[in-house]
């Protein structure tokens, strides 16, 4: 009999990172905001999970990825992700899918933090 694969909840993987974006407390996991309605929190989580799965599916298995940059993860995050087998994807693919999901979800909020590069060449 084929065993059904269960995946961890995206909010569990993110560990409540929604609090890093100002004004996003409404997207924290249910335990942190008990006044939220369960159904709307579940729908948002399911939507986030589906977006994450689509982003993860865009990475091919065991494909060499030359355009990767090094980014250091906290040990507890790396260990937690290494415990997951999500479609046989590597930790880097999972992290990239999580970050893409977060950026896609909060693109409008992230735009306000965009750096404006200032140069002496800009002055008259």
Question: Which pLDDT tens digit goes with each residue over 43-92?
Answer: 767 889 999 999 899 888 767 777 788 889 999 999 999 999 999 899 99
Under 8 Å between Cβ of 96 and 69: no
39 has a pLDDT exceeding 70: no
Average pLDDT value over all residues in the chain: 76
- Going from N- to C-terminal start, the domains of the chain cover 22-59+67-112
Question: Distance between CA atoms of 39 and 53, rounded to whole angstroms?
Answer: 21
pLDDT for residue 108 is more than 90: yes
Q: Is 59 in contact with 97 (CB distance < 8 Å)?
A: yes
Whether 33 contacts 21, CB under 8 Å: no
Give the global pTM. 0.58
């Amino acid at each position: 009999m084929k065993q059904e694969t269960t995946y961890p909840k995206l909010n569990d993987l993110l560990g409540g990172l929604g609090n890093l974006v100002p004004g996003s407390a409404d997207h924290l996991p249910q335990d942190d905001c008990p006044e939220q309605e369960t159904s709307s929190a579940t729908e948002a989580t399911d939507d986030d999970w589906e977006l994450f799965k689509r982003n993860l599916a865009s990475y091919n298995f065991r494909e060499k990825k030359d355009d990767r940059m090094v980014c250091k993860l906290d040990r507890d995050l790396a260990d937690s992700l290494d415990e997951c087998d999500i479609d046989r994807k590597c930790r880097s693919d999972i992290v990239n899918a999580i970050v893409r999901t977060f950026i896609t979800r909060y693109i409008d909020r992230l735009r306000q933090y965009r750096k404006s590069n200032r140069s002496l060449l800009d002055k008259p």
